[in-house]
Chain A
C-alpha cells in the first residue's frame, strides 16, 4: 500500500455535517444574504446566492470572482451579505478557495484560531468559471486535502458587462458579441461547454460534482449541503435564468429554469464518490417516465432566440435529441459507445 496520506502538513479537519432538508417546509428561516443588492428584477443568480448562504449557514466564507454577483452585491460601499465575503479576480475562484482553505488550516494548526469546520465556498460566473477560471478550478479539485466548494452560477453569458458570449452561451443566442444580421443570422456557432461532466470525469478524486437549477430550490440547497459535508474539493454548476441577457419578463425566471430541465437542455445529475446519479426530472427523462418537451417551448420565450427560424429550432432540437439518445451516458458524457 503506497503512502496515500499526502496531507503531511496539516491535521485532518472534518467538515460540517449538513443533512438534507426534506421539503420546503423544513427550510430554516435564517437568511445570510438579504435584500438591497443591485441585481435585476427576477435575478436567479441572486436567488442562488440566497439559497447557497442558507444552505451553508453562518459559519461560511464566500469568495466571489468578478461578475454580476460581485458588482451587484457590493454596490457603492454596501452589501446584502451577512456572512464574510471577499472579492477575487475573474479567473481565480479556484485559487482563492484553495488559498483560503490552506490559510485557515494553517491558522488552526498554529493555534491562532479555534479549530472548527468552516465552509469555504467560491462562487464564479460562467465567464469566470467555465472560461477564464477553468484551470484554477481544475487545480483546486486536485488538492484533495482541502474542504471547499466551487459554485458556478451560469447565466450563459458575461451578463455583468452587458451580455458578451461565453463558452457557456447556447448556440445561436443573441449577445453583444453575436448580434444576428441580415447576411449571417447565427453568430455564436459554438455549442455550450459541458463543464460539470468535464470536471467530474477529469478529476476522478473529486468526491462530488453536481448540476442544479434554481427552479428547484430545495434540491439546489441540498446539493450545496452535500458538497460542503462530503469533504475535499467539490463542484456545483447551477443554471440561472437571466432576464436581462436572455430577454424575458422577469416573472418567468422560475418557469424558464423548469423548462430548461424539462426540454432536456439542462440535465440534472450528481457524481458522488465516482457514482453517477441522474436527479429530478432528468432521471425520469432517462427512465422514459417523462417525455422531453420540445425545445421550441423554451426558445421562443426568450428574446435572445427571437431571430431563430424553424430550421434553427430543428437543429437545436436535433442536438438535444443526440444528447439523450446517442451519448454514451445520456445527458452527461458525449462520446458514442465503441
Chain B
C-alpha cells in the first residue's frame, strides 16, 4: 500500500502546458507499472493569469482508497516531490488575496525533494528558500526557466528532463524505465527519451538542514470567518485618500490592497535611473498595476510591493537607459529605489549598474513566429 504525490509550482499561463506535461507524464508512466493516478490543477488558480503562481499535482497510488483520500484535500500536502519550474518562485508564492506568502517548500514532506530548474548554484538557492524546520533535499535541473504562452509551446525538453530527474529522486513513484517508455509512447520522439535519460544521470541532490535557508517570517493573514463578513457580499473598498507616508509629503502614494501584494508574480523588476529621468509620466500613466508612487520631487518610484514585472514601463520609456528590466534573482528586498538614490546618488548609480549586468532579461513569452525554434537552436544544451 503506497501513494506518492508530486506538486508542480509554475507561472500561470506561461508554464501551464509545461506543468500539464509533467503531471500527465507522471501518471501515464505510473500506469505502466499497474498503478492508478490522476493529474489535476488546483481549483483556486483558475482562471490562471500570466505570471501569477499556480499549482498542478500528480498523485499515483496502488489502491483507489488512498488515491481518493488524497483527492479529498484541497491541495495534497506532504508531497514526496515539489517541482519548481521557475527559480524566482523560490522566494515564495502568493497566488491570490489573503493567501499570504507561501514558502515554496511548505507542502513538501519532511525528507522529500525540492526539484528546481535553475542556473543558480544550490548554495544560492538554499539561501533564498524559506527555512523549513525539517530536513529535505534540493535537486537542481540546470536550465533557465522555460516560458511560453497559451497557444505556442516552447518544446525545449524541460518537461521530459524534469520527468527523468524525478525518477532519480523519487524512484518509489515511478521507475526510469517506465518513464522512458511513457515518454516514447507520448511524444514518439527518441530525442525526448534521450533528454530524460540525460537529466536522470545529471541530477544530483543536496541535503538541506532543518535550520538552513531564509529565516524571514513570510507574511500571512487571519482569514475573516463568515461572522465577520458583511451582508450582501459587501467588500470594503480602498481608501480614496492617498497614504500618509513620512518623507513623501507633496508626492502621492496611492492606497494599496494590503491583502494582495502580488509581487511574487514578478520575474523581472524595473530599475530606474533617476538621473536620466525626464519626468515624462509615461511609465506611471501606462502601468496597469498602478505601481508607481509619485515622489515629492516629481519622480515616479516603482513600488516593489505592487509591481508584478510586466515590463510595460521599460517599453514606453522614451529615454535610453532610464528604466531597465532586470532579472528578479538579483534582488533580495523590496526597498524603494528613489529613497536609495536620495541617500547616496553615486552609490545608487554603482548599484544600478551592477544590477543591470543581470541581463539578458529572462524570456517572458512569445515575441514573434519562429522565435522558440530559434532559441532552441541557439541553446548549446
- Interface Cβ pair total, 8 Å cutoff: 213
**Which residues of B, 282-313, contact A by the 8 Å Cβ criterion?**
282, 285-291, 294, 303, 305-306, 308-312
Is A89's CB within 8 Å of the partner chain B?
no
- What is the minimal beta-carbon distance from A123 to any residue of chain B, in angstroms? 15
In the complex, the chain A residue whose C-beta lies closest to that of B251 is A29
Is B341's CB within 8 Å of the partner chain A?
no
Is A206's CB within 8 Å of the partner chain B?
no
Q: For residue A253, which residues in chain B have a CB less than 8 angstroms away from its CB?
A: 288, 310, 312, 315
- Chain B, residues 257-284, CB within 8 Å of chain A (1/0): the string is 1111110010000000000000011100
Which of B73-81, B124-132, B149-157, B160-168 participates in binding chain A? B149-157
- What is the minimal beta-carbon distance from A299 to any residue of chain B, in angstroms? 8
**Which residues of A, 228-277, contact B by the 8 Å Cβ criterion?**
243-245, 247-255
Known: A29-B294, A38-B262, A76-B96. A248 touches B365 (CB 8 A): yes
- What is the minimal beta-carbon distance from B139 to any residue of chain A, in angstroms? 29
Is A330's CB within 8 Å of the partner chain B?
no
Q: Report whether A306 and B288 are in contact in the complex, using a CB–CB cutoff of 8 Å.
A: no
**Of A33, A37, A251, the contact of B364 (CB 8 Å cutoff):** A251
**Of B239, B255, B261, B315, the contact of A251 (CB 8 Å cutoff):** B315
Q: Report whether A50 and B237 are in contact in the complex, using a CB–CB cutoff of 8 Å.
A: no
- Chain B, residues 210-223, CB within 8 Å of chain A (1/0): the string is 00000000000000
Q: For residue A255, which residues in chain B have a CB less than 8 angstroms away from its CB?
A: 315
In the complex, the chain A residue whose C-beta lies closest to that of B365 is A249
Q: For residue A302, which residues in chain B have a CB less than 8 angstroms away from its CB?
A: 366
**Of A32, A75, A161, A251, the contact of B310 (CB 8 Å cutoff):** A251
**Of B152, B242, B256, B262, the contact of A247 (CB 8 Å cutoff):** B152
Q: For residue A50, which residues in chain B have a CB less than 8 angstroms away from its CB?
A: 288, 290
In the complex, the chain A residue whose C-beta lies closest to that of B52 is A38
Known: A244-B50, A247-B152. A81 touches B238 (CB 8 A): yes
- What is the minimal beta-carbon distance from B113 to any residue of chain A, in angstroms? 30
Q: How far is the CA of A252 from the CA of B242 in the complex (A)?
A: 30
Is B229's CB within 8 Å of the partner chain A?
yes
| A: interface residue count bin | 35 or more
**Of B255, B289, B305, B366, the contact of A82 (CB 8 Å cutoff):** B255
Q: Report whether B152 and A84 are in contact in the complex, using a CB–CB cutoff of 8 Å.
A: no
Q: Report whether B50 and A34 are in contact in the complex, using a CB–CB cutoff of 8 Å.
A: no
- What is the minimal beta-carbon distance from B375 to any residue of chain A, in angstroms? 13
Q: Report whether A244 and B49 are in contact in the complex, using a CB–CB cutoff of 8 Å.
A: yes
Known: A24-B281, A80-B238, A255-B315. A38 touches B97 (CB 8 A): yes
Is B316's CB within 8 Å of the partner chain A?
yes
Q: Report whether B260 and A75 are in contact in the complex, using a CB–CB cutoff of 8 Å.
A: yes
Q: For residue A249, which residues in chain B have a CB less than 8 angstroms away from its CB?
A: 311, 364-367
Known: A77-B98, A82-B237. A36 touches B262 (CB 8 A): yes
Report whether over half of chain B's contact residues are helix, strand or loop; otherwise say mixed: loop
Q: How far is the CA of A36 from the CA of B261 in the complex (A)?
A: 6
- Chain A, residues 5-46, CB within 8 Å of chain B (1/0): the string is 000000000000000000011010111111111111111101
- What is the minimal beta-carbon distance from B53 to any residue of chain A, in angstroms? 11
**Of A80, A251, A305, the contact of B311 (CB 8 Å cutoff):** A251
Q: How far is the CA of A42 from the CA of B49 in the complex (A)?
A: 10
Is A304's CB within 8 Å of the partner chain B?
yes
Is B252's CB within 8 Å of the partner chain A?
yes
Q: Report whether B150 and A244 are in contact in the complex, using a CB–CB cutoff of 8 Å.
A: yes
In the complex, the chain A residue whose C-beta lies closest to that of B286 is A254
- Chain B, residues 232-260, CB within 8 Å of chain A (1/0): the string is 00010111101000000000101111111
Known: A35-B303, A38-B96. A248 touches B286 (CB 8 A): no
Q: How far is the CA of A244 from the CA of B97 in the complex (A)?
A: 20
Is A78's CB within 8 Å of the partner chain B?
yes
Q: Report whether A304 and B254 are in contact in the complex, using a CB–CB cutoff of 8 Å.
A: no
- What is the minimal beta-carbon distance from A89 to any residue of chain B, in angstroms? 14
13 intermolecular pairs with C-beta atoms under 8 Å apart: A31-B254, A34-B254, A35-B290, A35-B303, A36-B97, A38-B97, A39-B289, A50-B290, A68-B47, A82-B239, A250-B51, A250-B310, A300-B368
B interface with A by C-beta (< 8 Å) = 12-13, 46-52, 96-99, 148-152, 224, 229, 235, 237-240, 242, 252, 254-262, 265, 280-282, 285-291, 294, 303, 305-306, 308-312, 314-316, 325, 364-369
Would you list the 9 A-B pairs with minimal beta carbon distance, nearest first?
A: A36-B257, A251-B311, A40-B50, A35-B306, A247-B149, A42-B310, A29-B252, A41-B310, A78-B97
Known: A244-B13, A248-B366; 6 extra A-B contacts, CB below 8 A, are: A38-B260, A43-B310, A80-B290, A217-B286, A250-B51, A250-B310
